[in-house]
Chain A
Amino acid sequence: MSRRRGALLTAVGFVLVMLVWRELPAAAPPVYDGICVADPYRTLGHSPAPSSATKTYPPAKDFPTSEVITDESPAQVQVLMMMDTFSAPNTSVTVSITPMAAPAPPPSGLALDGNVYRISAVDASGKMLQPASQMPITVLLRATASSPAKTMFVHSSGTWHQLRTFSAGCGDSFEAVSTTLGDFGLFYAGGPPGNTGGGFPVAPVVGVLVVVVIAAGLGLVRLSGTRRSR
């Protein structure tokens, strides 16, 4: 009975994982414990410089499912594209990622974290391309720190547009789906990223939490004694 129930629960769990993952944005974090191996963030204007990336797709009937990734570890920018993202039959398509200065001041009340990246696509004649209407791209940008939470914006048509942003886990990455190409950046509200200060009493809070863990442990020891004595 237990084995049958266990097998059933495992199968249900697997189906749930498949369903939930299907609904999550592409490349959602697979690492449940988060710990990352990451190079320091590369900031534009400092050494080492952040990398660019360019990929040219030869003429084809259908644009393939693919990705363009900068070469930091982990990548500071990833662009994920589905099949037929660009409708440009019989011509090559070049997708580029280029770090750049912010094209405009941040949206009101927000500050920029890390670099702004221009993500563009052109055909063989140099004509700028945009994703097909039903084929948005997924953009992952690495932040300088995971906290505070970041929101991705794309600057296109002269203004910043907010994108629904998710934490992508490893390497302080955040991801969003965008229907347009343009200049992408991560923004945050409040103090500078990486600053947990701001008056937050870390030491007392840590002390209280340690006491709670110890108290729970002592309670468990005492409870175990009660169970044994009965």
Chain B
Amino acid sequence: MSVDAIPRAVTRPIAATHCALLVIGIAAAALLRAVTGGADAAASKPAALVFAAALFVLVRTAGWRADKWRAVDVAVGIGGAALLLGAWLANGGHLWLLAPQHAADLAVWSLVVTAVAVTEEFALRGALFAALVRWNGVSTAVAVTSVVFALIHVPLYGWQAVPLDCAVGVLLGGLRVLTGGVAAPALAHALTDLVAGWVG
């Protein structure tokens, strides 16, 4: 019997437990990043890698697998990054390139940022989103993943980051619903972080 054929009354409690375990695990991973990063949690590469590793473990144990990336996902992801970067530039963001002596640092930084962005998307818009859809539908999935996305950044930036990250979460959730997969939000998220870091 396939999972899809099981009555909703049976699968819903399981999905709810699945969601709860994922949220607990993601929260613990975010706290782990904050604690291991110490006073500079927002800038700590080791702490970021610990966070990404913890999220990856959760995603794998949840049994979630990313779909193959399609050309349309890549296009939508680039479009999503353009929206986020456009909003930033339209509201006072300014550009300057990092000093050349940082080129080597920037290469390492880019790998870490990409790892964090992609694992965040796999955990939130991938595993958690799928479990939330099974539990209570797409609207709940978008709302909860946006809130969780904002909350995991509180240890880094404080509560003032919550409105912005919630809004970004809705946009990335929209990309997830639009394409039916996690590739577009992952690409949009990673590109935004990378470009903003390179020139912001």
Q: Are A10 and B171 in contact (CB under 8 A)?
A: yes
A46 on the B face (CB < 8 A) = no
Q: Is the CB of B43 within 8 A of A220?
A: no
Q: Is A146 an interface residue (CB 8 A)?
A: yes
Chain A min CB distance to B111 (Å): 10
> Given known contacts A37-B98, A220-B62, is B173 in contact with A146 (CB within 8 Å)?
no
In the complex, what residue of chain B is closest to A31 when comparing beta carbons? B196
Asked, given contacts A5-B177, A17-B164, whether A73 binds B98 with beta carbons under 8 Å apart, the answer is: yes
In the assembled complex, the CB of B125 is this many whole angstroms from the nearest CB of chain A, namely: 12
B83: which of A14, A195, A202 is its contact (CB, 8 Å)?
A: A14
Measured CB to CB, the closest approach of chain A to B78, in angstroms, equals 13
Contact B157 A169 (CB under 8 A): yes
Tell me the B71-86 residues at the A interface (CB within 8 Å): 80, 83-85
Q: Is the CB of B39 within 8 A of A230?
A: no
User: With a CB–CB cut-off of 8 A, which chain B residues contact A36?
Assistant: 42-43, 109, 197
B35 touches A146 (CB 8 A): no
List B contacts of A128 (CB < 8 A): none
Contacts of A20 on B, CB cut-off 8 Å? Answer: 163-164, 167
Q: Does B200 lie within 8 Å of A146, measured CB to CB?
A: no
- Name the residue among A33, A147, A212, A230 with the largest chain B CB count within 10 angstroms: A33
> How far apart are the CA atoms of A170 and B3 in the complex, in Å?
45
B91 nearest CB across to chain A (Å): 4
> What's the Cα separation between A33 and B6 when bound, in Å?
39
Q: Does B9 contact A (CB under 8 A)?
A: no
A residues 7-25 touching B (CB-CB < 8 Å): 7-14, 16-24
Known contacts A35-B109, A196-B38; decide if A6 and B177 are in contact (CB<8 Å).
yes
Cβ-Cβ contact count across A and B, 8 Å cutoff: 246
A224 within 8 A of B: yes
CB contact under 8 A between A14 and B39, given known A32-B193, A33-B193, A220-B58: no
Determine whether A171 belongs to the interface, using a CB cutoff of 8 Å to chain B. Answer: yes
Per the CB 8 Å criterion, the residue count for chain A at the interface is: 73
Cβ contact of B164, chosen from A24, A38, A80, cutoff 8 A: A24
Which of A10, A27, A224 touches B174 (beta carbons < 8 Å)? A10
Interface, chain B (partner A; CB < 8 A) = 1, 3, 6, 10-11, 14, 17-18, 21-22, 24-25, 28-29, 31-32, 35-36, 38-45, 48, 54, 57-58, 60-63, 80, 83-85, 87-88, 90-94, 98-99, 101-102, 105-106, 109, 112-113, 116-117, 120, 138, 142, 153, 156-158, 160-161, 163-180, 189, 192-193, 196-197, 200
A contacts, CB < 8 Å to B = 2-3, 5-14, 16-24, 26-39, 67, 73, 80, 145-149, 166-167, 169-172, 193-196, 202, 205-206, 209-210, 212-214, 216-221, 223-224, 226-228, 230
**Contacts beyond the supplied A33-B113, A34-B156: 18 A-B pairs with Cβ under 8 Å:** A14-B171, A21-B87, A24-B91, A27-B92, A29-B157, A30-B200, A32-B165, A32-B192, A35-B197, A67-B94, A147-B38, A147-B40, A170-B42, A194-B39, A209-B29, A216-B24, A216-B58, A223-B21
Provide a sorted-by-A list of 21 A–B residue pairs whose CB atoms are within 8 angstroms.
Answer: A9-B170, A10-B175, A12-B170, A13-B167, A13-B169, A13-B174, A14-B83, A14-B87, A20-B163, A21-B164, A30-B192, A32-B165, A35-B42, A36-B109, A80-B92, A147-B39, A170-B43, A171-B43, A194-B38, A209-B28, A221-B63
